[in-house]
Amino acid sequence: MSGTDDPLIEPDRLAAELARPDAPTLLDVRWRLAGPPGRGDYVAGHLPGAVFVDLDTDLCGPPGAAGRHPLPDPAVLQAALRAAGVRTGHPVVVYDGGDGLAAARAWWTLRWAGHRPVRVLAGGWPAWCAAGLPQTVEVPTVTPGDVTVRPGALPVLDADDAAALAAADDGVLIDVRAAPRYRGETEPIDPVAGHVPGAVNLPAPGYVTEGRYPAADVLRDRFAAVGVRADGPVGAYCGSGVTAAQAVLALHLAGRPDAALYVGSWSGWVADGSRPVATGPTPGG
């Protein structure tokens, strides 16, 4: 991959691009699952020219039956992206606090919304700081963008799709949560423990470390170990569709840009008590 088709960008290259007259639009999406909101981090210091976008309220819909981080309303998303200065066809770079989770979900959301030229700052804010690159507390004056949200540019699974994929002979549904959650031994967030029957487990550390991804051939081997092939349907889920978006980004790097995200993930699956739940170390429980 090269240019804006590559979903990752290193700090030094981003710094060079930001120095150009038509620099990429820069979105700060720092976020923590358990809070507090990332805006305080942004106020304390951020990349020059970056605009803060809130994962919970701008990039996702309100929690409910569709999960804790469901798809956003397209009109709400469009308004948020325009307010942040996102322009049709103009490159966007997103960054977070370094774990790569919120940035991957932002990358996925913009791509799903039809905005293709979007990249993730590899290593996020810590990598930028470690490189000794400029920081600021100044909030930029934003010229509103004109992006139009066109949902559906990346594949999405709902609960029925996830169940079908998990049961398919030629497909793989990956649960990227920690193994004890997959096995049903513990569930710190959602009301029911276990996994989607038929799903395989590949916890996030198997394909990413602190927002950094191994080489494409290593990623292919690690996904192949849980049954992912060069073809055949593949999807991913986690607790609420954030960590799984990072898995979709890793699959993209591994040569599977058709990988689907189960946005509702486990929080959406267990919202309906009639859905089956598997426990134990194997896909079937």
Q: Which two tokens stand for residue 189?
A: 């967030």
Per the DSSP assignment, residues forming a β-bridge with 64 are: 67
Q: Return the closest-CA partner of residue 74 out of 30, 117, 109, 103.
A: 109
Which candidate in 47, 120, 178, 238 is catalytic?
238
Q: Does residue 129 carry a catalytic annotation?
A: no
Q: Which two tokens stand for residue 101?
A: 């989770």
Examine residue 91 and say whether the peptide bond preceding it is cis (omega within 30 degrees of 0). no
Are 69 and 102 within 8 A, CB to CB?
no
Please give the single-letter amino acid code of residue 50: A
User: Using CA atoms, how far apart are residues 92 and 180, in angstroms rounded to an integer?
Assistant: 37
Active-site residues, by number, are 238
